[in-house]
């Protein structure tokens, strides 16, 4: 009896597997889609917090002197924030604000 029950269970699972896989892929793609759209507001919030730092304006003006486009300056500064956040998550460590400053210095010299 037990062998027959296991066989029936396996057949039911085999029959349902394509539906389960489809549901998993839909959920995974939804998660990816919404994650992408949640990153930008987070970067903007962090940028606005860091912008309150007096050194921020100094770096902003230095980079602006190099690239001559305020929009590009903001993108370069957000890239530095993104690198800081990525490094923090990758290494499972707190955010390294000094790394952000070093990145801004490098951007202002480039």
The answer to whether residue 102 scores a pLDDT higher than 90 is yes
Looking at residue 45, its pLDDT comes to: 82
Biggest alpha carbon–alpha carbon distance for the chain: 81
d(CA 109, CA 46): 23
d(CA 21, CA 102): 45
pLDDT digits (tens, 9 = 90+) for 39-94: 778 877 877 777 777 788 888 899 999 999 999 998 999 899 889 988 988 898 88
Scanning 1-110, the segments in alpha helix (DSSP H) are: 2-51, 54-67, 70-91, 97-109
d(CA 67, CA 76): 10
């Amino acid at each position: 009896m037990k062998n027959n029950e296991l066989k029936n269970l396996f057949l039911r699972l085999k029959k349902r597997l394509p539906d389960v896989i489809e549901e998993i892929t839909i959920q995974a793609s939804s998660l990816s889609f919404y994650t992408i759209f949640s990153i930008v507001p987070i970067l903007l919030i962090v940028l606005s917090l860091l912008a309150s730092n007096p050194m921020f304006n100094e770096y902003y003006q230095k980079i602006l002197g190099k690239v001559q486009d305020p929009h590009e300056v903001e993108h370069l500064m957000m890239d530095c924030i993104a690198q800081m956040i990525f490094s923090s998550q990758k290494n499972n460590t707190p955010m390294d604000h000094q790394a952000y400053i070093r990145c801004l210095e490098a951007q202002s010299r480039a």
